[in-house]
Amino acid sequence: NAGVTQTPKFQVLKTGQSMTLQCAQDMNHNSMYWYRQDPGMGLRLIYYSASEGTTDKGEVPNGYNVSRLNKREFSLRLESAAPSQTSVYFCASRGVSTDTQYFGPGTRLTVL
């Protein structure tokens, strides 16, 4: 049982480049989340998807877009990367009858 998987694990971009971070879960969870983690800031929610076909903004959505491709997959896209988006990105999922979120291993992104 893989749980929540994320690709890539590491990525270096130049300012203005675009990329998509991939996330998949095999726990049949309805809700999925994207967070960013910055030193001294804890985790901040970027976007979430309460169920397949829906997405909503979180605390820090500017500069990002998301796609809930199906129940398993939830991708995060940076259209024009900026140095301020250098961070560690975590995907998480949650089942309908639980309050617990399960996290992926993270993607460490550096924007030069």
Residues that bind other proteins (CB under 8 A): 4, 31, 33, 40-45, 48, 50, 56, 58-59, 90, 92, 99-106
CB of 70 to other proteins, least distance (A): 20
How near is the Cβ of 59 to other proteins at its closest, in Å? 8
| Beta carbon nearer to other proteins, 58 or 63 | 58
Is residue 37 within 8 A of residue 87, CB to CB? The reply is yes
Alpha-carbon distances, residue 45 vs 1, 7, 17, 90 (angstroms): 26, 19, 23, 9
